[in-house]
Amino acid sequence: MKHLFFPDDYQPNIYHYDAEYLKSLGKKALLCDIDNTLVTYDDPDPTPDLLQWLLSLKEAGIVVGFISNNSAERVDRFNASLQYFAAADAHKPLTRELRHFIVETGCKKEEIAHVGDQIFTDVWMAHAGGVTALLVPPIRDKTTFFFRAKRLLEKPILALYLKKRSQEK
């Protein structure tokens, strides 16, 4: 059985998940967390490299969308030049916006991957919603107590996952 908190794949950054790689996993759609997955909390807009990656996925026929726990103001600004599917205040790990994406695009669950930087929101939501959970390390973490505590809880899970992965190779 799948471990609820183990990602299906873990790569050092978002750019490893290019169209070719996603297609090799059988994916036609990629849902992305924004903060610390695609850009830092301090970047209101996609960086040039990120924009290129987002456009290249679309050109290759991958449906791209954003599901964020951040505000509509943040998400709308980030998505302004792209106009992709975008959901703010998603309350991940709740799967409401994932189901919304499925209805809106007609993609099947097995064709969808979600990529994020947090186990207890992103990975959890993906598994709860029945889609593939891709994980990347956070670009740059907030240093608040709440965030440090969350990362501390993630650490042993990630270590177990990486150990299991190395044994499978």
For binding to Mg ion (CB under 5 A), which residues are involved? 33, 35-37, 117
Nearest to 117 by CA among 3, 45, 12: 12
Question: In angstroms, what is the minimal distance from the CB of 1 to Mg ion?
Answer: 26
Nearest to 93 by CA among 124, 134, 55, 62: 124
Phi/psi of residue 88, each to 5°? -105, 170
Question: In angstroms, what is the minimal distance from the CB of 38 to Mg ion?
Answer: 9
Question: In angstroms, what is the minimal distance from the CB of 35 to Mg ion?
Answer: 4
With contact defined as beta carbons under 8 Å apart, do 134 and 50 qualify? no
Q: Cβ closer to Mg ion: 107 or 123?
A: 123
Question: In angstroms, what is the minimal distance from the CB of 110 to Mg ion?
Answer: 24
> What is the rounded distance in angstroms from the CA atom of residue 12 to the CA atom of residue 151?
16
Q: Cβ closer to Mg ion: 97 or 117?
A: 117
Around 159, how many Cα atoms within 13 Å sit in the side-chain half-sphere? 6
Q: Cβ closer to Mg ion: 107 or 116?
A: 116
Please tell me the total number of residues recorded for the chain in this structure.
169
Question: In angstroms, what is the minimal distance from the CB of 78 to Mg ion?
Answer: 12
> What is the rounded distance in angstroms from the CA atom of residue 145 to the CA atom of residue 6?
24
Q: Cβ closer to Mg ion: 58 or 74?
A: 74
Q: Cβ closer to Mg ion: 108 or 148?
A: 148
